[in-house]
Amino acid sequence: MALKREFYLREPAVVARELLGKRLVRETSAGMCGGRIVEVEAYLSRRDPACHASRGMTRRNATMFGPAGRAYVYMIHSRWCLNAVTEPGGVPSAILIRAIEPLEGLDLMHQRRRTEMVRDLARGPARLCEALAIDRAYDGWDLTAGQELWIAEDPEANGKPLRIARSGRIGISSAQRRLLRFYLLDNRYVSGRVRRAAT
DNA sequence: CTACCGATTGACT
DNA sequence: GTCAATCGGTAGA
């Protein structure tokens, strides 16, 4: 059961935090795959210089200006990255899904990534997209419809509290002071170098 | 049209 | 630890 639109219609930092532990699910004719979201980053509309939308709408970032709960997929360095759009239409904020812990369809993800290392399947935003076969075709995709690509509660969560840490965003030069990266503490599928957790 | 740059990754010292 | 491949998006002439 996919998360509903209301989930995404909130403060981006809150949505980011709550996306941790949720299931990212991908279904193709080849089968199902996906896993648990372990790392995300929030990008806050126009006031945030690191956000693609901070300089207004362009062809690339138009999806960010649309309804919440859709996928914003963009290319960087010849690789795709997946975001979930948050807040009401016209407030262009989004959450970058940076890493998942692979749980389902590992064989499919190995094929697509061409690696034997489970840890390298979806650790990093572009690796994740390669593992799940996400590209430009999914820019604007409705993540609340429960088809092909969606986000759902983790059936194995059982209400267990998550140990969450936050830090500055990775690969960003501006606005490093903002702690908008959220990740699960001590999870080996989180990307980036080991750094101090600012809680 | 050209020039520059990036929310990355993987190969290499 | 460092560094370059690689190419679409964007701004500017």
pLDDT score, position A199: 36
Domains in chain A, start-ordered, CATH in brackets? 5-184 (3.10.300.10)
How far, in Å, is the CA of A184 from the C1' of nucleotide C9?
32
Q: Is the CB of A173 under 7 A from strand B?
A: yes
Amino acid at A34: G
pLDDT digits (tens, 9 = 90+) for A145-198: 999 999 999 999 988 999 999 999 999 988 888 999 999 999 999 998 654 444
Q: For position A193, what pLDDT does the model report?
A: 65
pLDDT of residue A198: 41
Q: Is the CB of A109 under 7 A from strand B?
A: no
Q: Which of A112, A87, A111 is nearest to A12 (CA)?
A: A87
Own/partner pairs for A158-164, CB < 8 Å, 24+ apart?
A: A162/A20, A162/A21, A164/A17, A164/A20
**Protein A45 CA to nucleic acid C11 C1', in Å?**
21
Q: Report pLDDT digits (tens) over A48-101.
A: 999 999 999 999 999 999 999 999 999 999 999 999 999 988 899 999 999 999
> What pLDDT does residue A91 have?
94
pTM for the complete prediction?
0.95
Which nucleotides of chain B does any protein CB come within 7 A of? Answer: 6-10
CB atoms closer than 10 angstroms to residue A34: 25
The pLDDT, as a whole number, for residue A88 is: 86
A191 touches strand B (CB under 7 A): yes
Angle between helices A125-132 and A106-113 (to 10 degrees): 110
What's the pLDDT at A114?
A: 95
